[in-house]
Structure 1
Amino acid sequence: MASSTLNYGFSPFYSMLGLYCRSPDGQLLNTEGREAEAITYHWPAISEQLNSKKATFTPLPSGLLVETSHIDVVSNLSDPSPIQSHIRLRAREIYREASNCYVGILSHRPQDNHEGAFREWIETLFVSKTTLQPRLGQELQALTRSEYKSVAERIWEWVKTWFAPKTTIQARQPKAPVQHNCEFVAEQITTLFERMLRNTAEADEWDCSGRNYFFHRVLDFVNRNEACQMALPAFPCKSPNDAKVGGSRPDMAERIALETLCDFVRNVKKLYAPGAIVHVIHDGHLLSSCIGVDDDVVSEYESDLQELYRSMFDSSADRQAIKFCSLSDLFFSESDNMQTFDQSWILDPDLLHHPIQTKLSETAELARKLIMASCGIDRSHFRKLILAQDAPTLKSYRGLSHFMLKDLAGPSFDSQSTSRKKKTASSVAAEMMARNQAYSNLLELLFPNYVRLSIHAHNNRGPKFGIRLFPRDRVRPIDDIEGRHEPVPRYDYQIPTPWHNSIVRIEGDDIAYLTKACVARQAVAGGRYKGGWVEDGDEGGHFLLCDVELPREKGDDKQIEVVSVMDVDVETKNILIPPSPLCQYHEAGQLF
């Protein structure tokens, strides 16, 4: 087997060693990617060939030039780096006037020298859209170009220091306090993140390595006196399972989550004038056909969420704290990419599997296919890992299959036999894992220097860091109303999301609760509580309950959807949840 990890394949992503920034004279300014250390180690040889003026130039419709160079790297047999001897590489670069540097991508060159139009297009897209910038004030982790200077050059530089005027030496000294101040600010922001947003993992590595990783990511922006950029794939759409949510639109749960992110950015700005920006990348269209939600419903959720955010804040600073981006924006936000794209590149029917039948939009389907075509894994390798009982892969696969077996809903799914339901859930889990890995690969190339945030639990060693969207002193995740004051250990590490749950407020309690909608409905059906779903235009939709033993406050004229005894099965005492209109399932095909 070629690899024991799921992240293995033959799409263009796997031929790319990494991204880099270089000065016009060839000095390496930054590098990111799977083989970043190897690129840095071999940079003298790479730089020498880049400066040989043998590049070919391809003009884009905007007039921008893409420079392509063929490079041969020869390394010693004792070289421990991932690049082996006699490697044929290709560098594709674009010059950025704003930063006076070249941004490039280094990839393996096909043995037959066959270019491939799609590979050329996608590599050009990555180079033109990547956020990678020169690193200022920080040493590269491996050897840099300056360390390859000849002995004569180093002796001459040492000799020059003896004859340099004292004023020249003194003029350089004020830079040290500036650097010290940058590190102090980056440390403060790191501590703030640790206190306000970071979610602790069960096997957490924040203290031993993750904190230092996060600090240097922040320091990279502080050194340039720029806003700290953070990327968060989140806010896909409401779950189509009515047992979990009160509706398909953003409600109080999303409102609190957005307030949490904005509060963090506000506090960063108090420490550091440029502040921070959280880029929310909507990932609903990535998995909509896996969870049974139509593409237009996802688009409506995205639009409603952005409108909710704009309505929450009056100041321009708050409105700029969070920026939203869709999957299609990642590929077609620039005219060059749109004008040079060819639909014939993504006709392969095996790019995507749709385990659940939903209404697909052309734009969303195009974005999904491009993600899989450019960064997708090898599905046959995935099957081999499952058959070989690879522990990490099997654990994720079984866990997600079990989750989807509970999460999927609708008349088509509910009418299936138990064995068919399990097969459908397994097929969905496999497709979700494949898409998620491809998506992660894509973000690695487009946002290599951003602080990458996640609503999922991570070990927090980097590059991803798990966060809490609900402050502990404001929202408590629970499994039942009666036991709401008792801690739930399983929520110490994995916090439920706004789109899989609902907010429940109980009169007399200062804190709000996050739980499944059916928990609130069951509490009312049991007779201990009164109330139901509230469509509150100011605070967002939520469940509002009142203990029947406590008097209601006068003047409360909110319209409440009261759960009646007709919502309960008399024999089983279970809540009867009406099927979601968002879900339309069909018989799933073969696994994977």
Structure 2
Amino acid sequence: MRHRRGAPGAWRCDTPGDAPCERCLLPHLETVRQRVRAGEPVVFVLPGFPCKSPNPAKVLGVLPDRAEQLALEFLDGLCARIREIHPPGARIVLCSDGRVFSELIDVPDAHITAYQAELGRMLTALPGGALSLFSADDLAEMRGEPHERVRAWLDDHYGESAEELRAQVRADAEVLRLYRALTRFLFEDRLTPERTESRSALQREARRRAYGVIGRSRAWGTLVSAHFPEAVRLSIHPQDCGSPKFGIRLSARGEDGWLTPWHAVAVERDGVFALSRRSEAEAEGARLVHRDGRPSHFVATRTVPPARESADRPLAPAARPT
């Protein structure tokens, strides 16, 4: 609960003081109790860690870097803290979803393959050994089909129509927040020097693709829930009080707003890391650090408070769904 990522207003629960909100706990508590009673690790599943943004103004390259490493260390540390209370500990399955919607975010499958391979190496090196990886590659192997067919299968079995998604965006504040955030990210990811379209054309295209990403992500989430029925479902997105998904931050600081490691770089300021866009770190004059022969993170030479939108503040782009 200390690292919960709540939607705007979600913290205004009826529970007084610092006591946990029973409504917030209710969807997850029995699942945890069953694992504790059985003397087994508590299992969490977290869709995310898809691939790096294709916009070089945001990230350092195709492979995960210090930004992902910090998030993985934080999650591994959470599992270690749980082990202090519940000796069997906890496990977090990262359900990497880049392959699920690669064609919608303009990222080649080869880049996703490289990202997942390096992410797997990072997980193996973690001291707690509590994190593992599940991806559409595992699904493709189980079904004996190529990636393209797996994506079509997800659409056929778990997908929603564009009309259904548009209706939900108009009627549900949480879905609208997600739609706005995805539209913004997709729009920014296409703002590269090679672009030939106008900004307005890119914005229209981002809105269209945002519906596709939401639909494919939901289909993936439904499959993950079916594949891991005894796990607590985590989400990188803010969640309302009582949601069946538990919103989780990826760092103890919790000050990076809507930024994620795969849309940003890690910047060290006075020994403390925060996320930032690459262009912002370079404009600040931060020094690029290499590890193992490739870019890793930045170190700022002066203290600048990170100017980042609050995770609870609505985003400006795509205010009106279409």
- Paired with 2:103 and 2:79, the residues of 1 have a C-alpha distance of 33
Taking structure 1 as reference, are residues 254 and 460 closer, same or farther at Cα in structure 2, changes over 3 Å only? farther
Task: Indicate whether 1:365 and 2:120 are aligned.
Answer: no
Task: Indicate whether 1:436 and 2:217 are aligned.
Answer: yes
- Paired with 2:294 and 2:255, the residues of 1 have a C-alpha distance of 17
Q: Does the 8 A contact of 1:218 with 1:228 survive in 2? A: yes
- Paired with 1:522 and 1:411, the residues of 2 have a C-alpha distance of 17
Equivalence map 1:237-276=2 (5 Å): 237-276=51-90
Taking structure 1 as reference, are residues 302 and 429 closer, same or farther at Cα in structure 2, changes over 3 Å only? same
Taking structure 1 as reference, are residues 270 and 547 closer, same or farther at Cα in structure 2, changes over 3 Å only? closer
Q: Does the 8 A contact of 2:94 with 2:133 survive in 1? A: yes
Equivalence map 1:61-72=2 (5 Å): none
Task: Indicate whether 1:216 and 2:21 are aligned.
Answer: no
**In the alignment, residue 322 of structure 1 is paired with which amino acid?**
L
**2:115 counterpart SS class:** helix
Q: Does the 8 A contact of 1:255 with 1:540 survive in 2? A: no
The residue that corresponds to 1:535 in the other structure is: 290
Q: Does the 8 A contact of 1:502 with 1:542 survive in 2? A: yes
- Paired with 2:225 and 2:126, the residues of 1 have a C-alpha distance of 31
Taking structure 1 as reference, are residues 540 and 222 closer, same or farther at Cα in structure 2, changes over 3 Å only? farther
2:162 to 379, 391, 395: 379
**2:191 counterpart SS class:** coil
Displacement of 1:274: 1.5
- Paired with 1:369 and 1:201, the residues of 2 have a C-alpha distance of 32
Displacement of 1:441: 2.2
**1:546 counterpart SS class:** coil
- Paired with 2:263 and 2:26, the residues of 1 have a C-alpha distance of 33
1:521 to 282, 291, 296: 282
Displacement of 1:452: 0.5
The residue that corresponds to 1:457 in the other structure is: 238
The residue that corresponds to 2:190 in the other structure is: 408
2:43 to 229, 240, 252: 229
**In the alignment, residue 327 of structure 1 is paired with which amino acid?**
A
Q: Percent identity?
A: 29
The residue that corresponds to 2:135 in the other structure is: 326
Taking structure 1 as reference, are residues 305 and 385 closer, same or farther at Cα in structure 2, changes over 3 Å only? closer
1:498 to 261, 276, 280: 261
- The superposition leaves residues 505-563 of structure 1 with CA deviations (integer Å, 9 ceiling, x where unpaired) of 23xx1322211111111112xxxxxx521112499810123249xxxxxxxxxxxxxxx
Displacement of 1:399: 4.7
Equivalence map 1:307-318=2 (5 Å): 307-313=121-127, 318=128
Q: Does the 8 A contact of 1:280 with 1:323 survive in 2? A: yes
Equivalence map 1:35-114=2 (5 Å): none
Taking structure 1 as reference, are residues 309 and 440 closer, same or farther at Cα in structure 2, changes over 3 Å only? closer
- The superposition leaves residues 281-306 of structure 1 with CA deviations (integer Å, 9 ceiling, x where unpaired) of 11111122122110010011000011
**In the alignment, residue 270 of structure 1 is paired with which amino acid?**
E
Q: Does the 8 A contact of 1:214 with 1:462 survive in 2? A: no
Q: Does the 8 A contact of 2:56 with 2:192 survive in 1? A: no
- The superposition leaves residues 454-481 of structure 1 with CA deviations (integer Å, 9 ceiling, x where unpaired) of 1111114232111111112xx853xxxx
Taking structure 1 as reference, are residues 382 and 253 closer, same or farther at Cα in structure 2, changes over 3 Å only? closer
Taking structure 1 as reference, are residues 538 and 262 closer, same or farther at Cα in structure 2, changes over 3 Å only? farther
- The superposition leaves residues 168-216 of structure 1 with CA deviations (integer Å, 9 ceiling, x where unpaired) of xxxxxxxxxxxxxxxxxxxxxxxxxx23x42333232671412233221
The residue that corresponds to 1:43 in the other structure is: none
**Which is higher, the Rg of structure 1 or of structure 2?**
1
**In the alignment, residue 514 of structure 1 is paired with which amino acid?**
L
Taking structure 1 as reference, are residues 263 and 383 closer, same or farther at Cα in structure 2, changes over 3 Å only? closer
2:226 to 445, 450, 470: 445
Equivalence map 1:152-231=2 (5 Å): 194-195=1-2, 197-204=3-10, 207-231=21-45
**In the alignment, residue 188 of structure 2 is paired with which amino acid?**
K
Displacement of 1:331: 5.3
- Paired with 1:444 and 1:312, the residues of 2 have a C-alpha distance of 25
- Paired with 1:278 and 1:540, the residues of 2 have a C-alpha distance of 27
**In the alignment, residue 326 of structure 1 is paired with which amino acid?**
S
Taking structure 1 as reference, are residues 292 and 398 closer, same or farther at Cα in structure 2, changes over 3 Å only? same
**1:513 counterpart SS class:** strand
Displacement of 1:383: 5.2
**In the alignment, residue 7 of structure 2 is paired with which amino acid?**
A
Output the TM-score relative to the length of structure 2: 0.82
**In the alignment, residue 544 of structure 1 is paired with which amino acid?**
V
- Paired with 1:432 and 1:260, the residues of 2 have a C-alpha distance of 27
- Paired with 2:26 and 2:172, the residues of 1 have a C-alpha distance of 29
The residue that corresponds to 1:565 in the other structure is: none
Taking structure 1 as reference, are residues 328 and 383 closer, same or farther at Cα in structure 2, changes over 3 Å only? same
**How many aligned positions are there?**
296
**In the alignment, residue 6 of structure 2 is paired with which amino acid?**
T
- Paired with 1:293 and 1:400, the residues of 2 have a C-alpha distance of 15
Q: Does the 8 A contact of 1:235 with 1:499 survive in 2? A: yes
Taking structure 1 as reference, are residues 405 and 222 closer, same or farther at Cα in structure 2, changes over 3 Å only? same
Displacement of 1:402: 3.6
**In the alignment, residue 373 of structure 1 is paired with which amino acid?**
D
Displacement of 1:427: 1.8
- Paired with 1:213 and 1:466, the residues of 2 have a C-alpha distance of 13
In the alignment, structure 1 segments of 5+ residues that lack a partner are 1-193, 344-362, 478-490, 525-530, 549-590
- The superposition leaves residues 346-367 of structure 1 with CA deviations (integer Å, 9 ceiling, x where unpaired) of xxxxxxxxxxxxxxxxx32222
- The superposition leaves residues 23-50 of structure 1 with CA deviations (integer Å, 9 ceiling, x where unpaired) of xxxxxxxxxxxxxxxxxxxxxxxxxxxx
Taking structure 1 as reference, are residues 385 and 523 closer, same or farther at Cα in structure 2, changes over 3 Å only? closer
- Paired with 2:227 and 2:140, the residues of 1 have a C-alpha distance of 10
Displacement of 1:444: 2.9
**In the alignment, residue 517 of structure 1 is paired with which amino acid?**
R
Q: Does the 8 A contact of 1:501 with 1:515 survive in 2? A: yes
The residue that corresponds to 1:427 in the other structure is: 208
- The superposition leaves residues 198-257 of structure 1 with CA deviations (integer Å, 9 ceiling, x where unpaired) of 233323267141223322110011122211111011111111111111222111111111
1:287 to 101, 108, 117: 101
- Paired with 1:398 and 1:520, the residues of 2 have a C-alpha distance of 25
